[in-house]
Amino acid sequence: MLLPEGLGYAEFVNEPPATERGSDPPTALVVYFLQADGKSPLSPPPSEVKARVEVSGSRQVATQTLEMKPEPKSDDASGGVRFTSKPGPFQLGNIRGSLSGKAQGKAFKLEIAQGR
């Protein structure tokens, strides 16, 4: 997802990856923040990153605010700008909501629609 004013990108993944359709094993929502080239880590890293998500379960929808904490990964070139949620039913194909924070001192809010 493109950050406002061309500041860079936010890339969403699940860790561990969600593998089974129809089940909801716990997985963390992970966001990598990248420069405008889509490869290099965003510098400086964003701050105050939060996700507000609606999680669709088998018969209900629950809204949660997730504190996205920086969890750098030294063995990954973009790992210095890796932010993670607590584990839960956060499979990208089942959530929508928003991601907010500050990048280069500017507030941003991105809409999440089923992992995009």
pLDDT band, residue 114 (cuts 50/70/90)? low
Least confident of 37-41, 64-68, 77-81: 77-81
> Would you say residue 17 has pLDDT above 90?
no
Mean pLDDT within 46-50? 96
Domain that holds residue 44: 4-113
Mean pLDDT within 32-50? 93
pTM of the model: 0.86
Give the domain CATH number at 40: 2.60.40
- DSSP code per residue over 21-69: TT----BEEEEEEE-TTSSSBPSSPPEEEEEEEEEE-SS-EEEEEEE-E
How many distinct structural domains can be found in the chain? 1
